Amino acid sequence: MRKFGFFLAMTIVLITLTVGCAKGEIKEGKGTTVSGDFIDGQSGGDAETLNWILAADATSFSYVGHTLDSLATYDNQWNLQLRCLAKDIEVSPDGLVYTVTIRGDLKWSDGSPVTAEDYVYTLKNLMFSDWLNYPYKSDWQEEVDGKTIFVTPQVVNDTTFTITRQTVYPEFIYTIYNLTPYPKYIAVNYEGNVEAFTQAPEFNNLTYTGNLGPYRFKEWVRNDRFVVEKNPDYYLGKDIGAPYFGQYIIKLFNSPATMQAALEAGDITESGIEPAEVNRFRSMPNIKVYTIPTTGYWLLAYNQRANGWEGLKDKTVRQALSMAISKQTISQAILLGFAEPAYSFIPATSQWYTDKGVAKYGVVPLYDKQKAAELLYQEGYGIKENDGTIKVTNKDGTPLNLVLVVSTGNKQSEDTAFSIRKDLLALGIETEIKLIPWATLLRQYVMNTVPGSKQEPAYNNGLDALSQQSWDLILMGFGTNLLSPSGSHVFFTSGGGLNYFGYSNPEVDELFNRVRSKEALDKNVRQQIYAEMSRVLSEEQPVDFLVFNRANVGFQKNVMRIEPGINMGYNYYMWYFEPAK
Amino acid sequence: MGRSWLRDYIIKRLLYSVIIACGILTITFVLVRVGPSSPADKYLANIAARGQDVSQVIAAIEARYGVDKPIFQQYADYMGNLFRGNWGWSFSTSMPVIELIKTHWIYSFQLILLSSLFAAFLGVLIGIYSAVKQYTKVDYAFTFFSFIGISIPNFWLGIMLILVFSVRLGLFKTYYDTTLPLFSLDNLKALVLPVITLGTGMLAGYVRYTRSAMLDNLRKAFVTTARAKGLPERTVIGKHVFRNALLPLVTIIMFDLGSIVFGGAYLTEIIFGIPGLGQISFNAIFANDYPVVVAVTIIGTFIVLLVNLVTDVTYTYLDPRIRYD
Amino acid sequence: MTERLRDIVRRTSQHLRSNARLINYYWQRTQRNKLAVFGLAFIIFLVLLAAIGPFFTLDPTAVNFEEKNMPPVGFTIEQSVYNIETDEFTTKEIPGTWKHPLGTDSKGRDMLAMIVSGARVSLQVGLIATGIAIILGTIIGVMSAYLGGWADNALMRFTDVMMTFPFFLLLVLIVFIFGPSLVFIVLAIGLTGWTGTARLIRSEALSLRTREFVIAAKALGASDNRVIFRHLIPNVISLIIIIATLSIPGVILAEAALSFIGLGDPTVSSWGIILEAGQTSLNTAWWVAVEPGIMLFLTVLAFNFLGDGLRDAFDPKSNM
């Protein structure tokens, strides 16, 4: 549950953090009267804190997002929806200076205006500071002359500020779009004292949010519900009367089963639905179900470091293994059809995905256990039995045993691990499945150090580093940022911070460098580079890309103005209950 | 007759309880802190996703949580704060521990109270009836059912009840709604299934115990005397036999009260989604949020010790022959 | 140390053997309690199931996603698979078959096979953890009673602390910290569950201490150890048997409860683990949660019947 839940949550973050400024249009009908409470069911665990700069979990951000807008978001068709920006962010021709202009009518709860100073203060004094140690500060850092430095924010006037980089990174703009400010006039009182900042009542109770969000904080009963009430001053909504719900309540459930039962009974307005129940919910007269693509995908990492099976260093071997693992079983039998096979880290729904030339292992015709065995035999990893069949073994003929590590807590990924094991067994490979709690998995199998050195473990301490425990395959979930897939460089470049499986290919390194450079400012060029990436990686198989998941969301039928799609929450402040006849 | 010894006894017990509580506190603290997992664990996934410098972020987070100091220092800090009334800050829920407990204890309390009352009343009544009608079919039936009651795993009973009564029959909600006012009929209705789940085991235990205690006393000499005196059967049972069985029965009820705070109530809360102390402490353990774990343990321990003391003192009133010296 | 253990066992069985009539007497009394007999019969059945059952069932680890979530024989269930391109469902009716009489789980593993192998795990956990708890409790109880004085006081205070400690919370803590492997779970349960035994054994031993045979032994110059191990312990055997029988169900349930909240050992298929997997799919595959629950219930019931019967049989005051 945890891993998949994380990525579902990430999606929901994308959905709900897109509180935004529509370009002033109202799609149909003018305002609608405010009625009822929207109850959103969640079963992935409660948020950690509303003091969002300290939070590590996506849930915390999603809660806060109801009270604070970010600078921009996207609708389902990837049109930019500006929020607190009056105009788009301007990028200088050399790609190094970003100019951000915010609206002039934003106010904190005490009436004072929200200014560029608040934004810059949040960046320089909070996010970049040592005393606070913001977990995501690396989003705002760049490598210059081998050193890691922060970008430079600067106030221009009350409503404008700039951020200056020294290296070009076209996708940096998406980081800026997500920026939300802390009120400087309150934060200065806690500056330097992380304990006081952590316990600050203003930040923990969101008392400062002013007119920046469609809702205002009302109450938070831990492990039970998070309630925000309609904000009549909402800068986007006050002219049209939005939002149209008296309260927005996030109700927490212990398990998806009870949550779905509550949806069925009409006790809550919206909830996620598990694959096995979707058909049943679709046929209910009072519920409408949407099936939406997500950015989450599963992959099987091949350990190319020294403490994995030596065969994995060989590209043909990796291709053969991927050829033997059925993606159909995973998407059809385990996920009941709510998934599609993945061949690259970029999902098919992204504007950057190109199908051409991509090698599609794991589905017919590149799903062929026979051929896979032959390929392995070719590389020396097999023996021919009397009847002509090939049994895959080590180079010296001894039986081949692999270790597959998967984290506990998610039944579907467990099932996938078993399916993979079964596929490999058909080749004669014995796979031992290790079910390890996620944090332990990260510590013992993912983090690595160079043997004999005294360095701190990291996710990629160079290609010579080894993890504490040896492993061959790790099954995990990941998510690609649809807007800036180049974030996946952490996975696939030699120095990538998350390249724990030790893949190294200068061609790929070069591609990722190019996509984060000046030439990629041109969208067409970027498209080509991404297409090439998909092509190369699908052939190289550093990991076996397994499937992209789909999520299912159910609503009571009377919720209006929902636009289904990958970012369907972007206009949620416009939703309303259809008046009862 | 002076009861001064009682006062001395109570004082001695209170002191003694404090020592035990400290012992338990220390053990809990050490256990939670000594484990290989750390509060930074939940950041690991996100650090992974960002490709950041893991050890640096972990060090900073642990510094923020105050868990990087040597354990004796942490212990001393914590104890010092505790005695000054500061129970610490819960990291996993970002609120003061005292606030957390204040907002959630009532849910555990009402569950435990109702379950105990349900189990005690029903159990004792059935037990008495069963004892009086010993060897009849009714007695056998009750005995059989009480075996079933104490054998059924209560967490399984809980999910079965939900499956049948909430999901299939739709008679009850599948989750506990905290927006209902505490003293409302709706709230009571919402607690029916949890109380049955938690109370069944205790109920069966009380039935058996009451029955055997009653049987023991029914054989005694004073009963024959009372009957010989011509007292109506109801008085014999109610006034004489039951009174004598009361003492050990009270012990058991009190003991159960103290011990189900953790254990049965814990699981029931999790199954039914009741945000009581059980669920809070459970989440806190998984989040390595040690102030909460220690705080809830102290409370549970304190309740047990208090209940034991009250029981022992009640004994002296129920049976004046008892003296603690 | 093993020497002495062997000594004890030898002495105890000698004691019991030389009193065949005594054993027969107790057995007669136990037999009169029909429920106790049922309990014993079920337990024997369970032991047989655990020991030889796996040879007759399918492989409980054989995964087959084509046969996932099949209902037990006699039931039929609908399964729908979604087609992304057409946005339609293909629904199939899946009936239960005799190949999988109790159905299958979400990975297509045979439920009957898993229940049988789960019996083995649950019994092992029950016996070993109870064994640890009983041994620990007996040693502490007897030593405390016999040595008396400050040793008794210290041991009893320590027992008090452990007893006041919320048992389940302690269990969760220990298993969470040291990792959910079966070894730790068994150890944790054993090391936290001895307090009741210690108390009971101590009071029994205290009463025995003043009996003639002990005084006689000491008068003859027997050492403390000798008195403890050769005289006191064999006399509390009957009490130990009863305590053990009544503790085993609690232990089995404790392991199941731990698995239920997610702290079970995921590499073994104990009933608790199966139940935990089943509770998330209660609506679609109810048998995965119901079947292990029934087994747990029956097992606990059987031990309770037996233990109760034994207690009545050994109690001279109860007239049977």
pLDDT tens sequence across A370-405: 999 999 999 999 888 888 888 888 888 899 999 999
Q: Which of A121-135, B57-71, C161-175 has the lowest mean pLDDT?
A: B57-71
Residues of A in contact with B103 (CB under 8 A): 221-222
CB pair distance less than 8 Å for B147 and C174: no
Whether C181 contacts chain B with CB within 8 A:
no
CB pair distance less than 8 Å for A133 and B57: yes
Mean pLDDT of chain A: 87
Q: pLDDT (tens digit, 9 = 90+) per residue, A334-347?
A: 999 999 999 999 88
CB pair distance less than 8 Å for B60 and A6: no
List subunits contacting chain B, requiring 3 or more Cβ pairs under 8 Å: A, C
Q: Provide the pLDDT for residue A318.
A: 95
Q: Can you tell me the distance from the alpha carbon of B68 to that of B70, in angstroms, rounded to the nearest whole number?
A: 7
Nearest CB among C161, C172, C301 relative to B148 is that of C301
Q: pLDDT (tens digit, 9 = 90+) per residue, A424-443?
A: 999 999 999 999 888 888 88
Nearest CB among A135, A194, A254 relative to B46 is that of A135
Average pLDDT over residues A325-354: 89
Can you give the three-state secondary structure of A147-166, one letter per residue? EEEECEEEEEECCEEEEECC
Q: Provide the pLDDT for residue B48.
A: 65
Taking 70 as the threshold, does the pLDDT of residue A19 lie above it?
Answer: no
Taking 60 as the threshold, does the pLDDT of residue A299 lie above it?
Answer: yes
Q: pLDDT (tens digit, 9 = 90+) per residue, C128-158?
A: 999 999 999 988 888 888 777 888 888 888 8
Average pLDDT over residues A353-358: 87
Nearest CB among C166, C176, C304 relative to B297 is that of C166
Nearest CB among A50, A56, A490 relative to B51 is that of A490
Q: Which of A5-29 are b and which e, b meaning 16 or more Cβ less than 10 Å from the residue's Cβ?
A: bbbbbbbbbbbbbbbbbbeeeeeee
CB pair distance less than 8 Å for C179 and A275: no
Q: Can you tell me the distance from the alpha carbon of A178 to that of A452, in angstroms, rounded to the nearest whole number?
A: 42
A441 vs C22, residue with greater confidence: A441
Q: Provide the pLDDT for residue A546.
A: 95
- List beta partners, residue A476: A299
Q: Provide the pLDDT for residue A581.
A: 67
C30 vs A196, residue with greater confidence: A196
Q: Provide the pLDDT for residue C116.
A: 94
Which helix (H) or strand (E) segment holds residue A403: the answer is: strand A401-407
Centroid of chain to Cα B244:
26
Whether B94 contacts chain A with CB within 8 A:
yes
CB pair distance less than 8 Å for B267 and C257: yes
Whether B99 contacts chain A with CB within 8 A:
no
ipTM score of complex = 0.84
To the nearest whole angstrom, how far is the Cα of B63 from the nearest Cα of chain A? Answer: 10
Residue A468's CB: how many other CB atoms inside 10 A?
14
Identify the band that residue A580 occupies on the pLDDT scale cut at 50, 70 and 90. confident
Phi, psi of A183 (to 5 degrees): -75, 120
Taking 80 as the threshold, does the pLDDT of residue C217 lie above it?
Answer: no
CB pair distance less than 8 Å for B37 and A490: no
Q: Provide the pLDDT for residue A575.
A: 93
Residues of A in contact with B42 (CB under 8 A): 48, 56-57, 439
Identify the band that residue C317 occupies on the pLDDT scale cut at 50, 70 and 90. low
Q: Provide the pLDDT for residue A25.
A: 38
Q: Provide the pLDDT for residue A202.
A: 94
Q: Provide the pLDDT for residue A12.
A: 41
Q: Provide the pLDDT for residue C186.
A: 93
Taking 90 as the threshold, does the pLDDT of residue A197 lie above it?
Answer: yes
Taking 70 as the threshold, does the pLDDT of residue C201 lie above it?
Answer: yes
Taking 80 as the threshold, does the pLDDT of residue A209 lie above it?
Answer: yes
Nearest CA in chain A to B51: A497
Instruction: Give the closest residue to C160 by CA, choosing from C209, C113, C196, C129.
Output: C196
Q: DSSP secondary structure string, A90-115?
A: EE-TTS-EEEEEB-S--B-TTSPBP-
C 243-282: CB under 8 A from A: 262, 266-267, 277, 279-282
**Which SS3 state, helix, strand or coil, does residue A518 take?**
helix
Size of chain B in residues: 325
CA distances from C30 to A92, A203, A340, C246 (A): 92, 68, 63, 15
Residues of B in contact with A48 (CB under 8 A): 42, 91-94
Q: Provide the pLDDT for residue B247.
A: 66
Q: Which of C226-264 are b and which e, b meaning 16 or more Cβ less than 10 Å from the residue's Cβ?
A: ebbbbbbbbbbebbbbbbbbbbbbbbbbbbbbbbbbbbb
B220 vs A459, residue with greater confidence: A459
List subunits contacting chain C, requiring 3 or more Cβ pairs under 8 Å: A, B
Q: Provide the pLDDT for residue A484.
A: 75
Whether B8 contacts chain A with CB within 8 A:
no
Q: Can you tell me the distance from the alpha carbon of A215 to that of A73, in angstroms, rounded to the nearest whole number?
A: 18
Taking 60 as the threshold, does the pLDDT of residue C167 lie above it?
Answer: yes
Average pLDDT over residues A203-229: 94
Instruction: Give the closest residue to A176 by CA, choosing from A57, A62, A91.
Output: A91
To the nearest whole angstrom, how far is the Cα of A456 from the nearest Cα of chain B? Answer: 6
Q: Provide the pLDDT for residue B286.
A: 83
**Which SS3 state, helix, strand or coil, does residue C92 take?**
strand
B247 vs A281, residue with greater confidence: A281
Q: Give the residues of chain B that fall short of pLDDT 50.
A: none
Taking 60 as the threshold, does the pLDDT of residue A20 lie above it?
Answer: no
Residues of C in contact with B34 (CB under 8 A): 177
Nearest CA in chain A to C79: A276
Q: Can you tell me the distance from the alpha carbon of A359 to that of A356, in angstroms, rounded to the nearest whole number?
A: 9
Q: Number of residue pairs across A and C with CB atoms under 8 Å? A: 74
Nearest CB among A57, A222, A254 relative to B273 is that of A254
Average pLDDT over residues A247-252: 95
B34 vs A297, residue with greater confidence: A297
Taking 50 as the threshold, does the pLDDT of residue A176 lie above it?
Answer: yes
Phi, psi of A256 (to 5 degrees): -60, -30
Q: Can you tell me the distance from the alpha carbon of C249 to that of C301, in angstroms, rounded to the nearest whole number?
A: 8
Q: Can you tell me the distance from the alpha carbon of A232 to that of A31, in angstroms, rounded to the nearest whole number?
A: 13
Taking 50 as the threshold, does the pLDDT of residue A13 lie above it?
Answer: no
List subunits contacting chain A, requiring 3 or more Cβ pairs under 8 Å: B, C
Residues of C in contact with A261 (CB under 8 A): 283
Q: Provide the pLDDT for residue A23.
A: 36
Q: Can you tell me the distance from the alpha carbon of A408 to that of A231, in angstroms, rounded to the nearest whole number?
A: 41
Q: Provide the pLDDT for residue A6.
A: 39
Mean pLDDT of chain C: 84
Q: Which of A63-67, A367-371, A417-421, C231-235 has the lowest mean pLDDT?
A: C231-235
Contact C277, A411 (CB under 8 A): yes
Q: For chain C, how far is it from start to end, CA to CA, in angstroms?
A: 41
Q: Provide the pLDDT for residue B96.
A: 92
Whether B98 contacts chain A with CB within 8 A:
no
Contact B197, B176 (CB under 8 A): no
Q: Provide the pLDDT for residue A191.
A: 92
**Which SS3 state, helix, strand or coil, does residue B85 take?**
coil
Nearest CA in chain B to A260: B174
Q: pLDDT (tens digit, 9 = 90+) per residue, C286-313?
A: 899 999 999 999 999 999 888 888 877 7
Residue A275's CB: how many other CB atoms inside 10 A?
22
Identify the band that residue A543 occupies on the pLDDT scale cut at 50, 70 and 90. very high
Q: Provide the pLDDT for residue A3.
A: 39
Q: Which of A187-196, A283-292, B174-183, C4-13 has the lowest mean pLDDT?
A: C4-13
CB pair distance less than 8 Å for A223 and B92: no
Q: What is the CA radius of gyration of chain A?
A: 25
Average pLDDT over residues A22-47: 70
